[in-house]
Amino acid sequence: MRITIATALPPFTLNLWQDLQVMLSYDFMRQALLAGTLLSIVAGLVGYFVVLRHQAFAGESLSDVAFTGALGGAALGINPILSLIITTVVVALAMGGFGERLRGRDVAIGTVLSWVLGLGVFFLSLFTAHMSGTGTGFSGVTVLFGNILGVSTDQLRTIVLVSGGVMVLLLLFARPLLFASLDPDVAAAHGVPVRALGLGFMVLLAITVSEATLSVGALLVFALLLLPAAIAYQVVSRPLAALGLAAILAVACTWVGIAIGFYTGYPSSVCISLLAFVSYVVVVGGSSRVVQVWRKKKIIRA
């Protein structure tokens, strides 16, 4: 569905500075850009560790869990944001702890996800039958696809506080977490609390997914979390530089996606995820082509 407000806005021009000034003249755009910037930085930083620790399936699963938690809270008359955060954190801890005992993280995640998705369908039916259309301003579509252009002042405060806390914690524990992610056995031998760091990171991942769900959407938050980090992982070998690049790429995709949504009326969250996907395809495809050419030249010289 297109955003009808776009028909009343000035058209896009090639004067980018003027276009930026037009966007920033609206309160809702300033809030959307600030919220998107904070969410993107957190998603880029956390997403790099998701890629490094091979926990992409866990991140995707938590986005589905976020959908269940938000709808469960709405259907039961609980604050959807509170229920969303609690549900994702509890399930993230279950995934981390259960997976370590089974020595099979994917099996643990699949086991947890199967009943969580079934629970989400149940809550969706309850919400549709009893709560939809009651004037609460909450809808299943908002949870699925988000509405970053509709971020309220209260939501922005929450995003600022939560994002700031996640970034501080992640930067404080970045070095031991990086050590534990690259070589957990050696890290454990040096006294690094690998299991505790793993569980703590799952909590940070759950909080990141939770705070981004109502803005970007449960179905699209995974793209912002994974794809910029995957690009940085492909092109940069130094972890600290890759962390910074992942955050920058996530912010760039978010700003351009919001601008496209503003001037075209299309959902900004869809534009953001599409930009991230296209960027990843271009980078991975270009990298593969460069490697093939280099190998071919090496064979010819030999």
pLDDT tens sequence across 184-236: 888 888 888 888 888 899 899 988 888 877 667 776 777 888 899 999 998 88
Q: Please tell me the least confidently modeled range out of 3-7, 158-162, 179-183, 197-201.
A: 3-7
Class of domain 4-301: mainly alpha
Instruction: Using a pLDDT cut of 70, give the percent of the chain over it.
Output: 77
Q: Where are the alpha helices (DSSP H) in the chain?
A: 16-24, 27-52, 56-76, 80-102, 105-126, 140-145, 153-172, 174-182, 184-189, 194-216, 221-235, 239-264, 268-301
Q: What is the per-residue pLDDT across 220-232, written as a single tens digit (0 to 9) for each?
A: 777 888 899 999 9
pLDDT at 295: 45
Terminal Cα-to-Cα distance of the chain (whole angstroms): 58
C-beta of residue 206 within 8 angstroms of C-beta of residue 88: yes
The type of residue at 160 is V
Q: For the segment 51-70, what is each residue's pLDDT rounded down to a tens digit? A: 988 888 777 778 778 878 87
Range name among 50-64, 102-116, 162-176, 264-278 with the lowest pLDDT average: 102-116
Distance CA 217, CA 201 (A): 22
In the chain, what are the domain boundaries? 4-301
| SS3 category, 13 | coil
pLDDT at 4: 46
Query: Looking at per-residue confidence, does 138 or 71 come out higher?
Result: 71
Mean pLDDT of the chain: 78
Residue with tokens 């501080």: 168
pLDDT reading at 270 higher than 90:
no
Give residue 216's pLDDT.
Answer: 73
Question: What pLDDT is attached to residue 267?
Answer: 81
The pLDDT of residue 298? 45
Give the pLDDT of residue 250: 93
- For 260-267, what is the mean pLDDT? 84
Residue indicated by tokens 């530089």: 241
**189-220: b (≥16 Cβ within 10 Å) or e:** eeebebeebbbbbbbbbbbbbbbbbbbbbbbb
